A = this chain, B = another copy of it.
Amino acid sequence: MSAKPTPLSGFPELLPEQRIVEQQIIDTLRHTFELYGFGNLETRAVEPLDQLLRKGDTSKEVYLLRRLHEESAEGHAGMGLHFDLTVPFARYVLENAGKLEFPFRRHQIQRVWRGERPQEGRFREFLQADIDVVGRDVLPFHHDVEVARVMVDALTRLDFLPAFRLQVNNRKLIQGFYLGLGITEPDEVMRLVDKLDKLPAEKVHELLVTEAGVDAATADRVLALATISAADDSFVARVRELGVEHPLLDEGLDELARLVTGVADLTSPQVRVEADLAIARGLDYYTGTVFETRLEGYESLGSICSGGRYDALASDGRSTYPGVGISLGVSRVVVPLIARTGLVADRKVPSVVLVALADEESRAESDTIAAALRARDIPCEVAAAAQRFGKQIRYAERRGIPYVWFRSVAEDGAVTDEVKDIRSGNQFAADAATWQPPAEDLRPRITRG
């Protein structure tokens, strides 16, 4: 490379001190998910195109693969990069069903690719963190409550995250309500109602009449349902007041009330949970519960954490594998958070200690000190060059390394080791075989630049 390369729009990359932020977030997510029995899994990045295009509305956004010298331009045997982790997971469950134990919990933290137009929080390559529970043939409703609780716990542990609002709804409720109204194409109506966050209610009302062919009075009730939200199960009475009856509506109301009640104790200044009957989710594989999550002050990002119940995504003819899951857009949150608040680690390297170098001849000696520290799991590095000590301290400072280790040899050959906390300037005698930095210095800390 002979000229400075420029970034690729939609393919964000982080500086070392920013990557530490992202990695601590990933570590926290993984730790939390594992506490609840969700082991980690990875699937290949590549899926057959027919799987990728089978469901959902993202077909235009798939990246196809082709080998450079492949004859056909049709793509590598019809392969594409996955655009989410749910479709590959459903495929994985079917492929390995005989070797898995159900209910099967897993978390998955991987990159996904979508060829959409880049904007803040929307990338062409980004990291997602998903949790799902899948059953064989049946999956009791308490797992819907479980995945919501696990994700709220995980998000709550990210203490630099703004307050967030988990919004829940249930597609059975919506569909049952529409069927009770005599609407014959509830999916089309749902698609139009989903536009309420972009269009005024009057415009959606007009579309319901002109595009979905419902009468004005029915459109009124459709929109009335979408305005209902509540932090407790009081939404049930408000829906009942609209006077619509359908068995699927009853089922959806019951499920949503159980969900809202089941997570009510998680409410805090940091966390709001509410039933919001306008939430529908774009992808059509959801069959019951749906989740969205919005960050206070970052509403323009849309939902940063979404998911729901999918009862029919995976079936091998003999069994079906109903599931429920929720997916955090890690890059969607981390990249704007870093850009807007300057979130950053307080050092650029893992090293807690820089072992100074008296002269190039004593490099082996400095290496021995470093080895003694590493033997007790203290990350450290030896100075790159035997500059004067003031320069070596600045070397540590530029990287945010908090301690510098000095060895001095007196004229009588006596060896003295000292370690300097370069933040306070304090310097004290230390033994590489026993000295321990304070626990809070062992890992980089996250600060607002």
Best-surrounded residue of A35, A41, A43, A316 (most CB of chain B within 10 A)? A35
Residue of B62, B68, B398 touching A62 (CB-CB under 8 A): B68
**Is A159 located at the chain interface by the 8 A CB criterion?**
no
A73 surroundings in chain B (CB, below 8 A): 73
**Is A199 located at the chain interface by the 8 A CB criterion?**
no
Q: Which of A4-12, A235-243, A299-307, A413-421 contacts B (4 or more CB under 8 A)?
A: A4-12
Distance between A83 CB and nearest chain B CB, rounded to angstroms: 10
A94 surroundings in chain B (CB, below 8 A): 1, 4-5
How long is the Cα–Cα vector from A3 to B105 in the complex, in angstroms? Answer: 22
Scan A414-441; emit 1 where CB is below 8 A from any B CB, else 0.
0000000000000000000000000000
Distance between A234 CB and nearest chain B CB, rounded to angstroms: 22
**Is A388 located at the chain interface by the 8 A CB criterion?**
no
**Is A379 located at the chain interface by the 8 A CB criterion?**
yes
A314 surroundings in chain B (CB, below 8 A): 1
**Is A362 located at the chain interface by the 8 A CB criterion?**
no
Tally of chain A residues near chain B (CB < 8 A):
90
Which chain A residues (349-399) contact chain B, with CB distance < 8 Å? 349-351, 363, 374, 377-381, 384-385, 398-399
How long is the Cα–Cα vector from A68 to B66 in the complex, in angstroms? Answer: 12
Residue of B51, B66, B381 touching A66 (CB-CB under 8 A): B66
Residue of B23, B37, B54, B315 touching A379 (CB-CB under 8 A): B37
**Is A195 located at the chain interface by the 8 A CB criterion?**
no
Best-surrounded residue of A13, A20, A39, A61 (most CB of chain B within 10 A)? A39
Given contacts A37-B381, A95-B6, is CB(A13)–CB(B44) below 8 Å? yes
Distance between A359 CB and nearest chain B CB, rounded to angstroms: 13
Distance between A349 CB and nearest chain B CB, rounded to angstroms: 5
The reply to whether B2 and A16 form a contact with Cβ atoms under 8 Å apart is: no
Q: Which of A96-104, A174-182, A213-221 contacts B (4 or more CB under 8 A)?
A: A96-104
The reply to whether A66 and B64 form a contact with Cβ atoms under 8 Å apart is: yes
**Is A65 located at the chain interface by the 8 A CB criterion?**
yes
**Is A75 located at the chain interface by the 8 A CB criterion?**
yes
**Is A348 located at the chain interface by the 8 A CB criterion?**
yes
**Is A111 located at the chain interface by the 8 A CB criterion?**
yes
A288 surroundings in chain B (CB, below 8 A): none
The reply to whether A37 and B380 form a contact with Cβ atoms under 8 Å apart is: yes
The reply to whether B63 and A379 form a contact with Cβ atoms under 8 Å apart is: no
How long is the Cα–Cα vector from A11 to B20 in the complex, in angstroms? Answer: 29
How long is the Cα–Cα vector from A377 to B28 in the complex, in angstroms? Answer: 12
Nearest-CB residue, chain B, relative to A377: B35
Q: 17 A–B contact pairs at CB < 8 A?
A: A1-B51, A1-B54, A1-B313, A1-B314, A3-B316, A4-B316, A15-B99, A19-B40, A35-B378, A35-B379, A37-B379, A59-B68, A60-B68, A62-B68, A63-B66, A64-B68, A105-B381
Interface residues of A (CB under 8 A from B): 1-8, 11-16, 19-20, 23, 31, 34-46, 48, 51, 54, 59-70, 73, 75-76, 80-81, 90-92, 94-97, 99-101, 103, 105-106, 111, 113, 115, 125, 140, 142, 313-317, 348-351, 363, 374, 377-381, 384-385, 398-399
